[in-house]
Amino acid sequence: MENKVILYNINEDNGDSFVLRAFMFPDGRLVLEGQDFCETAKNWFGDEEYEYYYTFNIENTNKLKAVLKSDDLLKTLVEFFSGEMINEKLRKLCEDNDIKFDIHVI
């Protein structure tokens, strides 16, 4: 599998769009990269584009692999998301299993 995958790419009838990608750094760290274009972002931040990153260090990437029983984390995350915007489900899974990550918003 590639080192970068799309977890979901949702385009709504009103023009809003939401994309979440996942990639692995060569050292094994996981990053989720989200980009939303929507009216809500414009109302909150003054711009319709909203970007965010979930970054996991190596220890927490490995914990996530163990919880998901995964040898190929990117493939497993594609299956976990199944093209749906379920970021909250992933955050809850991480919280319940003491898997830490940083969130960066641009």
Determine the straight-line distance between the first and last CA of the chain, rounded to whole angstroms: 28
pTM: 0.88
Question: Does residue 101 contact residue 50 with C-beta atoms inside 8 Å?
Answer: no
Q: How many domains does the chain contain in total? A: 1
pLDDT reading at 1 higher than 50: no
From residue 17, alpha-carbon distances to 12, 44, 61, 99 in Å are: 6, 16, 27, 28
> What phi and psi, each to the nearest 5 degrees, are found at residue 26?
-55, -30
Mean pLDDT for the chain?
Answer: 93
Q: How confident is the model at residue 15 (pLDDT cuts 50, 70, 90)?
A: confident
> What phi and psi, each to the nearest 5 degrees, are found at residue 11?
-120, 115
Residue 2 pLDDT: 62
Give 38-54 pLDDT, tens digit per residue. 877 767 677 777 899 99
11 or 48, which is more confident? 11
Per the structure, the complete domain to which residue 26 belongs is given by: 4-105
